[in-house]
Amino acid sequence: MITFPHAKLNLGLNILRRREDGYHDIESLFIPWDGLRDVLEILPSEQTSMNLYGIELDGGDPSAIDNNLCLRAYRALAARFDLPPVQIHLWKGIPAGAGLGGGSADASATILMLRQMFDLPLSTEECASIAATLGSDCPFFIYDRPMIASGRGEILKPFDIDLSDWRIEVAVPDVHVSTREAYAGIKPAMPSEPLVDILASPVTSWRGRLVNDFEATVFAAHPEIALVKEDFYKRGAIYASMSGSGSAVFGLFRRER
C-alpha cells in the first residue's frame, strides 16, 4: 500500500502560556497544504524494518530510523493489536525542521494505512488519540481539514475557511529551526484580538493582525527567513507569514481568474 502524506500550514500562531508540564498552550489554525508531499509505502514482510530516502542521517545514526515516527506509530498499534511485521519505505519530500509537519503527517498516515491494511477496529477519533501520543500536531493529519488547534496543538475544532480565491506559495530557506530554538526567548501572552475573529475577516485585513509569535525570535536568529517574508510582500502577496516554528514561509496571492 502506498500513500502521499502532505504538509500543513499555520494561519496565525499564538503562544498563550507555559504549562506546568513544560509545554506551552498555543492557538493556531492548521490547514492542509498539498504543495509538498512525502511518499509512504508499507508492505507485508518477514521482519519489521524501515528504509528512509531523501534525507541525510547524521553520521548514519541508526537511531534516526529507529525513532522515526512511522515506526513509532507501528509500535503503538502493535502494542494494541497483534500486527504482523511490515516493511516501511519513506521518501521525504517535505523538508524537516521547516514548520510544515512532515513527520507528523507520516505518522498519521502510517496509522491510517495500517488500519486499512489489517482492518483494525479503530474509529477516526481513536486513531487521533493514538496519533496524539506521537506528537502534538499528529491528530490534525488524521482529520485532514482546517482545524483550530489549542492546548499543545492536539485539541482540535473544525473551522470553515474558504481560500479558493487565493494562491498559496511556499518558500523553504535552507535553514533548520528546532522547536527548542524557536521557543527560546518567547514570552507567552494572550493576543489583543481573538484569532477566530481575525480569520473570519477578509484576507486583505490580515497583514499586521494575524501573527506568528515565533517570528520575533526566529527572525532575530535567522534574518534570511525574514527576508523571504519581505520578498513575498514585494512580489505582491496580500498576506505572508512563517509557518509553525519555521523555516518555511508562505504567501497568499490573488488567484487570477
Same CATH fold assignment for domains 2-158 and 166-254: no
Q: Which residues contact residue 153 at a Cβ distance below 8 angstroms, ignoring those fewer than 6 apart?
A: 26, 28, 30, 136, 137, 140
| Catalytically annotated residues | 8, 137
**Fold of the domain spanning 2-158:** Ribosomal Protein S5; domain 2 (3.30.230)
Residue range 166-254, CATH number = 3.30.70.890
pLDDT at 66: 84
Query: Helix, strand, or coil here: 27?
Result: strand
Cβ atoms within 10 Å, residue 102: 25
**DSSP state, residue 16:** E
Query: What pLDDT, on a 0 to 100 scale, did the predictor assign at position 82?
Result: 92
pLDDT tens, position by position, for the chain (257 residues)? Answer: 999 999 999 999 999 998 888 788 999 999 999 999 999 999 999 999 999 998 765 444 556 788 899 999 999 999 999 999 999 999 999 998 899 999 999 999 999 999 999 999 999 999 999 999 999 999 999 999 999 999 988 899 999 999 999 999 999 999 888 878 888 878 899 999 999 999 999 999 999 999 999 999 999 999 999 999 999 999 999 999 999 998 999 999 998 86
Q: Are 109 and 141 in contact (CB under 8 A)?
A: yes
- Report the pLDDT value the prediction gives residue 13, as an integer from 0 to 100: 97
Alpha-carbon gap, residue 190 to 188, rounded angstroms = 7
Q: Which three cell numbers stand for residue 178?
A: 528546532
Q: At what angle do helices 69-78 and 102-117 cross, to 10 degrees?
A: 30
Domain boundaries, the chain: 2-158, 166-254
Residue 8 C-alpha cell reads as 500543513
pLDDT of residue 59: 42
In the prediction, which pLDDT does 176 show?
Answer: 84
Query: Radius of gyration (Cα) for the chain, nearest Å?
Result: 19
Instruction: State the first-to-last Cα distance of the chain, in angstroms, to the nearest integer.
Output: 38
